[in-house]
Amino acid sequence: MLRRDFLMQAGLLTGSMLLHNEMAQAFSHVGGKRINVGVIGTGDRGKGLIDTMKELPNSFKVTAICDVMDFRLREAQEISGLSNLKQLTDYRKLLKDKSIDAVFIATPLHLHYPITVAALEAGKHVYLEKTMTYNIDEAKSLVSLSKKYPKLTLQVGHQYRYTPLYYRVKDMIQKGYLGKVTQIESRWDRNWNWRRPVPDPSLERQINWRMYQEYSGGLIAELLSHQMDFVNWAFDTHPDEIFGTGGVDIYKDGRETLDNVQVMLRYAKDNMIGNFGATCGNAKDGYLFRLKGTKGTISLLMDDAIFYPEKQTAAELETVDGVTGATKIAWNSDGGIPILKEKLKDGTWYALEDFHKSVNTGQLPASNVATGATTAVCVHLANQSIVQHEIKSWKPEYNF
């Protein structure tokens, strides 16, 4: 590598890792009208969205909430701190409210598609939680339908791709600082049965919908879809082959979705393999995301990341530092270089900033219907592979 390239890399790995000008443009607050929002689905995620919108009072005003369970509505009303919220149990009534500009959909997965279709047809902008759709046919249909409403924003809630940290890692990948990436290791583990308390047995399937195949894509849809989505985005790619295995190996409690899964994705045109796993039986790794290249590895968490250069790369970086007198690289105790020192907000905050900007400017959000559909296909093929015990292949019709 030429000396000037090392100088550039040494500069990249010293001090702040933010591209200040680019990030300031990407994440600065954009003027525009405040958006009146109706939240459909006020479980944990819906309440979390309401809480985040309270941090953006000039961007959003929650005016209505909707859920089929009264106690969820009461909880959401308390979190909002607003006494005049409209509280509804039928989302169709909410969509008829002409004062509402946008809806946030945080329902069980099987309801994402029908509610989003109804919202677009009612002229509402949509922030739709991940995974975008329950199956591939719904993903394809939503891509087609959205083309009929080009002035409406449809953003998918893969919020981690919006943080400055993940943008920074994407930039490092695209500029070759990891060299040729061939292996991706990803886990999202916990030692917990993933169940919510049920105040009445009749509400079991509504509250613990993640346990049942009729409503849920399980661990792959709810957790691993985030990391799959980042790989699609950061490498501008999609898998060519998907093979998975798993089972209900820990909690024999009547659940249908699996509590232990492992999926391998082969990105043939990129000469890359991704391993994605999750278990409910061990919390040691928690959230683990490693990108391994010929020049180095990035170990990526939700709000932190370390670059571990390969031996030759590390030697070259030290040489540049010693010869040129460049700002000293901050190595940590295990031979890694912290990528970002700034304290970050939760990924949802950045995602909602982008949603507000998209609604007011008409720009395409970073996580949109096409990227959301690509990840939804990955999730569905992975689940199909596990159930059918066969390798699934990407088809041209999945290129959105």
What local confidence, expressed as pLDDT, does residue 226 receive?
Answer: 97
Query: For residue 209, which of 257, 176, 172 has the smallest C-alpha distance?
Result: 257
Considering the entire predicted model, what is its pTM?
0.92
Query: For residue 200, which of 69, 7, 33, 370 has the smallest C-alpha distance?
Result: 69
What local confidence, expressed as pLDDT, does residue 319 receive?
Answer: 67
Question: Residue 123 and residue 32: Cα distance in Å, rounded?
Answer: 19
Radius of gyration of the chain (CA): 22
What local confidence, expressed as pLDDT, does residue 320 receive?
Answer: 55
Q: Which residues have a Cβ under 8 Å from the Cβ of 201 and sit 6 or more positions away?
A: none
Q: Which domains does the chain have, with CATH numbers?
A: 3-20+161-345+369-398 (3.30.360.10), 29-160 (3.40.50.720)
- Are the C-beta atoms of residues 128 and 105 closer than 8 Å to each other? yes
Q: Which residues have a Cβ under 8 Å from the Cβ of 4 and sit 6 or more positions away?
A: none
Query: For residue 112, which of 161, 145, 85 has the smallest C-alpha distance?
Result: 145
**Largest separation between any pair of C-alpha atoms in the chain:** 71
DSSP line for 161-179: GGSHHHHHHHHHHHTTTT-
Two structure tokens written together for 322:
């010693």
Residue 303's identity, in one-letter code, is: D
**Would residue 44 be called left, alpha or beta, if left means φ above 0 and alpha means ψ between -120 and 50 degrees?**
alpha
Strands of 235-359, DSSP E: 241-247, 260-267, 272-279, 287-293, 296-300, 305-309, 337-338
Q: Which residues have a Cβ under 8 Å from the Cβ of 125 and sit 6 or more positions away?
A: 35, 101, 102, 103, 152, 153, 154, 355, 359
Two structure tokens written together for 334:
């295990």
What is the mean pLDDT for each group of 10 consecutive residues in the chain (400 residues)? 44 46 46 94 97 97 97 95 93 98 98 98 98 98 98 96 94 94 98 95 96 98 98 98 98 97 98 98 97 97 93 80 52 85 91 98 97 98 98 98
Q: Which long-range contacts (CB under 8 A, 24 or more apart) does 143-149 make?
A: 143/369, 143/370, 143/373, 143/400, 145/117, 145/120, 146/120, 146/369, 148/120, 149/120, 149/123
What local confidence, expressed as pLDDT, does residue 129 receive?
Answer: 98
